[in-house]
Structure 1
Amino acid sequence: MRVRVSISTVLGLTAALTLTACSPSGTESRPADGSSARTDSPADNGRDSGAVLSSSELASRLLGESDLGTGYTRKPDRPSGNDDITVLGCPELDDLGADAATGSGGGLDFPHRAKAAFTYTASGEVTEELYSDAAGKLSDGTGRIFDAMTGCPAYQVLAGRTPIDITTQEIPAPRIGDERWSHLLTFSSEGADMVVKQTAIRDGSVLLIVSGSPALVDRHLRAALTKATATG
């Protein structure tokens, strides 16, 4: 049977690879040229980065259908621990732990988190994730995510028995927040290609990650950060 890559599969893979890079058992990884995906200075300047928010507080700051506009439908929460994913050809990801790579263990470093995913008409999806922790921990953990995923310009994953080729490209992120990272991932399987954009913004003790169709990420990123960091 011919299996074609879908946006739901791609976003699930993106989430699983993010788990890989944030695994507490992992070691920090850098791209082959020694550079970092971070586009601003680390969170080590000693200033107050804000209070750490609880998961329930983060959940209240996620964008909803009323924020996104017409045509968006929230997807049910995706069960955890059900991803049968194997990473091939990328030591930077593999070294961070097989359990985290498959979504079956390890988990994220960040204890406070919330997530929402939406479909848009029939043509796209967008996922928003919020995390809260000390600024330095968010900075280091997110750096590992993007360094590991851009450290291999091309690799492959097996989603169950389906091979999916992935290429990554680091791209500029909007100059908002305290730190920012962004990349494009191209997923290819059985003759079908799909491009997913993933952008992370750290603002104080809050980390925002928006993933999905590039146009939808660009459309909602700033509104997501504004709501996530609102003080009133």
Structure 2
Amino acid sequence: MRVRVSTTALGVAAVLLALPSCSTDTTGVKYQTAPSARTGKPAALSSAALEPRLLDESDLGGGYLRKPERPTQHDDVTVIGCPALSKLGGGTATGGTLTFPHMAKVTFTYGGGSSEISEELYSDSAKKLSGGISRIFDAMTGCPTYQVVAGGASVGIASQKLPTPHDLGDERWSQFLTFSAGGRSTVVKQTAIRDGNLLLIVSGSPALVDRHLAAALDKATATS
């Protein structure tokens, strides 16, 4: 049951944060950092351009193994005990109206699979990124405890808003999520940083998130 709780913790958090794994842009355009000629604002990076900005094993060091991506599931997600979060997903809490079409994601296990760290990158206008992620984090941290039912599995969740590192990016959000199922609990730290037209979300074991957050942001925002 412990492995299932850990997997559920990261998976449910991803759903609630409106991470649209089935909605990607595969145009293959690389590093579109120049401002749009029409608006003068930085253009959104394609999904293909975001991929090389993710951390890899060489960035993390020894003991990390990349976890294969699981097939996308489309189970309805029901939130019990947090009306604000339920409203965001039209009753399923999937956050369908807050999708960011340009995205890339990677997950690693550490210590023989006992811990995980997941990184997601999104690109859109600063306004859309800020508004979308703010609404989700505000809803999640506004409910101290609630329950999520997905695919027949029920998980109890307790949330706690955390202070954020003020020297990173333009905007920051962070929280602890404690997932409880089958008599066991798993604590996940989740920190999101918006830097210009990029949104970075790092989730997983609190120690691993703290260890690699700055490096993830450095690589995500580096130009080539």
TM range (shorter): 0.7 to 0.9
Give how far 1:215 is off: 0.5
SS at match of 1:224: helix
Counterpart residue number, 1:41: none
Q: Describe the shift of the 1:108–1:60 C-alpha distance in structure 2 as closer, same or farther (beyond 3 A).
A: farther
What is the number of residues matched between the two proteins? 202
Counterpart residue number, 2:114: 123
Counterpart residue number, 2:182: 190
Kindly report which structure 2 residues correspond to 1:1-16, keeping only aligned pairs within 5 A, or say none: 3-4=1-2, 5-16=4-15
Do the aligned residues in 2 keep the contact of 1:62 with 1:224 (CA within 8 Å)? Answer: yes
Which digits, 9 at most, give the CA deviation of each residue in 1:98-154, with x for residues without a partner? 5753x5x83752121000011112320000000001111111111011011112111
Runs of 4+ displaced beyond 6 Å: none
SS at match of 1:231: coil
Counterpart residue number, 2:141: 150
2 CA distance for matches of 1:131 and 1:16? Answer: 15
| Code of the aligned partner of 2:64 | Y
Counterpart residue number, 1:172: 163
Report the TM-score, using the length of structure 2 for normalisation.
Answer: 0.83
Give how far 1:173 is off: 1.2
Report the TM-score, using the length of structure 1 for normalisation.
Answer: 0.80
Do the aligned residues in 2 keep the contact of 1:49 with 1:205 (CA within 8 Å)? Answer: no
1:87 and 2:86 aligned = no
**Structure 2 unmatched ranges of 5 or more:** 21-39
Identity %: 61
1 CA distance for matches of 2:19 and 2:119? Answer: 18
Do the aligned residues in 1 keep the contact of 2:77 with 2:92 (CA within 8 Å)? Answer: no
Counterpart residue number, 1:221: 213
Which digits, 9 at most, give the CA deviation of each residue in 1:32-90, with x for residues without a partner? xxxxxxxxxxxxxxxx7633211111011000111111111111112223445321111
2 CA distance for matches of 1:8 and 1:113? Answer: 21
SS at match of 1:95: helix
**Structure 1 unmatched ranges of 5 or more:** 22-47
SS at match of 2:44: coil
For the aligned residues, what is the CA RMSD? 2.1
Give how far 1:174 is off: 1.0
